[in-house]
């Protein structure tokens, strides 16, 4: 290919390398210059134009791109029309992208003029999604290089393909232990449904059984008999060893374990096995979250009928660190504090108390003190510092009830929009030197300083204790300690919801502290509950 600057009259039949704008003339890059273009260039006073001209043995960029794209395309793909040396390839059905990386590397090494790029291998794709592109860098490529790319594609065929989803019937077993709330199981099932929906799969049956081998073995057998093509087990306790409950149950069902563990984080504790020739997965804890994790990598391949062998699992390490793990220390702009336990208190006191009628419950009194003042006194008596009170409804009256107390007030002008806005306001007011915040509710007068201190004492970021929750008979309550790591998530909450859903998303970072009495579960929402709590406190 000839390349260089020539006079307009000598550019006839060549391709413009650059766009030209001069006066009223607009000549776009890539334009094939004919008599009209020559006349326009001369009329505009253009002395020279940089052009590319094909020589014998050259193949134009669009022709070469189209031919190579057609050669590399396999099942489930189509090639678009080539334009400006680029030919894009699209999925014609949903599935998992399968690529021959070595063959693609060989094509890209043939000549710098020829490039082929794809989405990551084994990525789930949907119909119409662009999955690969062939780009010829210059305006033409030698026929020799084009032919070498075509030959490589023929040797490796299929070099790129979309493996369609084949498994549609899923069975799910959830094992149960005391303390595992039913809503956790329900949420896990909901997320599982959402996860497999793009593959056209569905959960045909599910079982909930005690976390013991016999019950689990029976459940797996029942699901396989019911026609499940793949069984997923969500354990109430994470798999710790090949001899643990879940792998033992798979083997007792006549199956075998293919591999335990994977170099993907989140997803380390994945178990892959099979029974009756059908895959059985022991899901890691992160599979309860909708965020991408190693479970997705394995599940979607299996749904497409692709084998997931031990060799493939152990080859997932590069790129296997999928996201920041909340229990893993992260680099910071400033050194972390030595103790890592400087905790601020955020008291939410902005609500409208709609269930109390005309009374603002935060100003209701017990023992001559308003509820909001009681909450502030206990926070101030604890190791939490500073104490921040979020105001909203009747802010002046709430502030007056706190008169003389060394608390910081943070007003939420959007309090009517719900609890989430007050949480956002309070977290935003936490000072930079705090490692975390304990979020207290202003309508829980039985939460005292010793309880707050117990929760703060359990807070230990260095050991992965990033969220601390009080529990009574396995039921989680308030207040909750949150590490700074979660502040961005907390400030993103909106509407009339709290942060409870985040606890389920980061189960590996949660520490539960069993407490006695009902303080952590008792809030005041109605006149009746106010009378009951008042009577209980006065009896004590």
pLDDT digits (tens, 9 = 90+) for 449-461: 999 999 999 998 8
Residues 357-409 pLDDT 10s: 667 889 989 988 999 999 999 999 999 999 999 999 999 999 999 999 999 99
The residues, ordered by sequence, that sit 6+ positions from 539 with a Cβ below 8 Å of its Cβ are none
Which CATH number characterizes residue 530's domain? 3.90.550.10
Domain check: are 485 and 381 in the same one? Answer: yes
Confidence band for 332, pLDDT divided at 50, 70 and 90:
very low
What pLDDT is stored for residue 463 in this prediction?
A: 78
What pLDDT is stored for residue 92 in this prediction?
A: 95
Residue 327 lies in a domain: no
Confidence band for 180, pLDDT divided at 50, 70 and 90:
confident
Confidence check: pLDDT of 330 > 60: no
Count of domains for the chain: 4
Domain check: are 253 and 223 in the same one? Answer: yes
What pLDDT is stored for residue 327 in this prediction?
A: 56
Domain check: are 475 and 499 in the same one? Answer: yes
Residues 38-97 pLDDT 10s: 888 888 888 888 888 877 888 988 999 999 999 999 999 999 999 888 999 999 999 999
Helix (H, G, I), strand (E, B) or coil at 32: strand
Residue span of the structural domain in which 41 resides? 2-53
The residues, ordered by sequence, that sit 6+ positions from 289 with a Cβ below 8 Å of its Cβ are 191, 266, 504, 505, 506
Domain check: are 29 and 81 in the same one? Answer: no
Residue 230 lies in a domain: yes
Confidence check: pLDDT of 122 > 90: yes
Interatomic CA distance for residues 477 and 520, integer angstroms: 5
Q: C-alpha angle with apex 106: 100 to 110, nearest 5 degrees? A: 150
What pLDDT is stored for residue 488 in this prediction?
A: 87
Q: Of 164, 185, 217, which residue sits at a domain end?
A: 164
What pLDDT is stored for residue 323 in this prediction?
A: 67
Q: What is the mean pLDDT of the chain?
A: 90
Domain check: are 237 and 275 in the same one? Answer: yes
Residue 178 lies in a domain: yes
Domain check: are 253 and 127 in the same one? Answer: no
Domain check: are 382 and 518 in the same one? Answer: yes
The residues, ordered by sequence, that sit 6+ positions from 340 with a Cβ below 8 Å of its Cβ are 435, 460, 461, 462
* Sign of the CA dihedral running 381, 360, 479, 508: negative
386 upstream amide cis, omega within 30 of 0: yes
**DSSP H helical segments within 227-325, as ranges?**
245-252, 294-303, 310-314
101-135 residues labelled b (16+ CB within 10 A) or e (exposed): eebbebbeebbebbbbebbeebebbeeeeebbbbb
Confidence band for 338, pLDDT divided at 50, 70 and 90:
very low
The residues, ordered by sequence, that sit 6+ positions from 465 with a Cβ below 8 Å of its Cβ are 458, 459, 509, 511
Confidence check: pLDDT of 536 > 90: no
**For the chain, what is the radius of gyration of the CA atoms?**
32
Q: Of 139, 164, 189, which residue sits at a domain end?
A: 164
Domain check: are 367 and 417 in the same one? Answer: yes
Domain check: are 160 and 180 in the same one? Answer: no
Confidence check: pLDDT of 531 > 50: yes
Query: What DSSP letter does each residue of 398-437 carry, written as one string?
Result: HHHHTTT---EEEE-TTGGG-HHHHHHHHHHTS-TT-SEE
Confidence check: pLDDT of 304 > 90: yes
Domain check: are 38 and 120 in the same one? Answer: no
Please state, in angstroms and as integers, the Cα–Cα distance from residue 509 to each residue in 5, 268, 459, following that order.
Answer: 65, 15, 10
Interatomic CA distance for residues 469 and 509, integer angstroms: 11
Q: Are 159 and 217 in contact (CB under 8 A)?
A: no
Residues 410-437 pLDDT 10s: 999 988 888 889 999 999 999 999 999 9
* CB atoms inside a 10 Å sphere around CB 384: 28
Which CATH number characterizes residue 22's domain? 3.90.105.10
pTM over 0.75: no
- 152 Cα distance to chain centroid: 37
Q: Of 129, 164, 199, which residue sits at a domain end?
A: 164
**Comparing C-alpha atoms, which of 343, 358, 518 is closest to residue 445?**
518
- 216 Cα distance to chain centroid: 30
Confidence band for 337, pLDDT divided at 50, 70 and 90:
very low
Domain check: are 516 and 374 in the same one? Answer: yes
Q: Percent of the chain scored above 70 by pLDDT?
A: 95
Task: Out of 162-166, 486-490, 492-496, give the one with best mean pLDDT.
Answer: 162-166
Confidence check: pLDDT of 202 > 60: yes
Q: Are 99 and 107 in contact (CB under 8 A)?
A: no
Residue 319 lies in a domain: no
**DSSP H helical segments within 77-181, as ranges?**
101-108, 143-156
Helix (H, G, I), strand (E, B) or coil at 501: helix
Residue 321 lies in a domain: no
Which CATH number characterizes residue 210's domain? 3.40.980.10
Residue 337 lies in a domain: no
Residues 259-278 pLDDT 10s: 999 999 989 999 999 999 99
**Comparing C-alpha atoms, which of 94, 73, 67 is closest to residue 160?**
73
Domain check: are 295 and 409 in the same one? Answer: no
**DSSP H helical segments within 492-526, as ranges?**
500-505
The residues, ordered by sequence, that sit 6+ positions from 241 with a Cβ below 8 Å of its Cβ are 247, 260
- 169 Cα distance to chain centroid: 25
In this prediction, residues 184-210 reach a mean pLDDT of 95
Place of tokens 């007030």: 409
**DSSP H helical segments within 206-319, as ranges?**
213-225, 245-252, 294-303, 310-314
Residue 329 lies in a domain: no
Residue 332 lies in a domain: no
């Amino acid at each position: 290919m000839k390349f260089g600057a020539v006079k307009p009259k000598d550019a006839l039949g060549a391709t413009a390398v650059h766009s030209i704008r001069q006066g009223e003339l607009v000549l776009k890059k890539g334009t094939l210059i004919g008599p009209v273009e020559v006349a326009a260039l001369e009329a505009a006073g253009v002395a020279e134009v940089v052009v590319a001209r094909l020589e014998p043995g050259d193949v134009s960029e669009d022709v070469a791109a189209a031919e190579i794209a057609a050669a590399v395309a396999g099942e489930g793909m189509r090639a678009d029309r080539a334009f400006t040396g680029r030919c894009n390839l699209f999925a014609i059905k949903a599935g998992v992208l399968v690529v021959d990386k070595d063959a693609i590397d060989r094509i890209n090494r043939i000549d710098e003029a020829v490039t082929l790029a794809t989405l990551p291998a084994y990525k789930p794709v949907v119909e119409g999604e662009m999955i690969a592109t062939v780009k010829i860098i210059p305006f033409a490529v030698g026929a020799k290089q084009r032919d070498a790319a075509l030959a490589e594609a023929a040797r490796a065929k299929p070099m790129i393909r979309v493996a369609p989803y084949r498994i549609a019937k899923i069975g799910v077993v959830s094992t149960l232990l005391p303390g595992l709330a039913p809503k956790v199981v329900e949420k896990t099932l909901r997320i599982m449904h959402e996860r497999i929906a793009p593959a056209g799969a569905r959960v045909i049956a599910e079982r909930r059984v005690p976390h013991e081998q016999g019950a689990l073995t029976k459940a797996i057998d029942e699901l396989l008999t019911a026609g499940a093509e793949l069984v997923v087990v969500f354990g109430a306790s994470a798999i710790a060893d090949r001899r643990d409950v879940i792998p033992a149950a798979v083997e007792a069902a006549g199956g075998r374990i293919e591999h335990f563990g994977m170099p993907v984080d989140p997803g380390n504790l994945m178990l892959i096995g099979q029974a009756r020739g059908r895959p059985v997965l022991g899901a890691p804890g992160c599979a309860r979250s909708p965020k991408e994790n190693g479970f997705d990598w394995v599940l979607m391949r299996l749904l497409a009928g692709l084998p997931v062998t031990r060799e493939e699992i152990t080859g997932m390490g590069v790129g296997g660190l999928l996201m920041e793990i909340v229990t893993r220390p992260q680099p910071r702009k400033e050194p972390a504090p030595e103790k890592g336990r400087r905790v601020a208190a955020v008291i939410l006191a902005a609500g409208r108390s709609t269930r109390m009628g005309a009374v603002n419950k935060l100003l209701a009194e017990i023992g001559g003190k308003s509820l909001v003042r009681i909450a502030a006194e206990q926070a101030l008596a604890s190791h939490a510092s500073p104490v921040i009170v979020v105001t909203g409804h009747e802010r002046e009256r709430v502030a007056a009830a706190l008169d003389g107390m060394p608390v910081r007030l943070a007003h939420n002008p959007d309090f009517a929009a719900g609890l989430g806005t007050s949480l956002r306001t309070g977290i935003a007011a936490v000072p930079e030197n705090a490692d975390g915040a304990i979020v207290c509710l202003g309508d829980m007068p039985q939460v005292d300083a010793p309880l707050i201190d117990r929760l703060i004492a359990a807070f230990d970021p260095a050991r992965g204790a990033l969220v601390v929750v009080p529990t009574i008979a396995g039921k989680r309550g308030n207040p909750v300690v949150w590490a700074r790591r979660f502040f961005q998530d907390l400030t993103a909450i909106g509407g009339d919801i709290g942060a409870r859903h985040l606890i389920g998303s980061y189960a590996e970072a949660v520490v539960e502290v069993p407490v006695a009495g009902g303080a952590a579960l008792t809030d005041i929402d109605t006149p009746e509950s106010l009378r009951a709590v008042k009577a209980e406190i006065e009896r004590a």
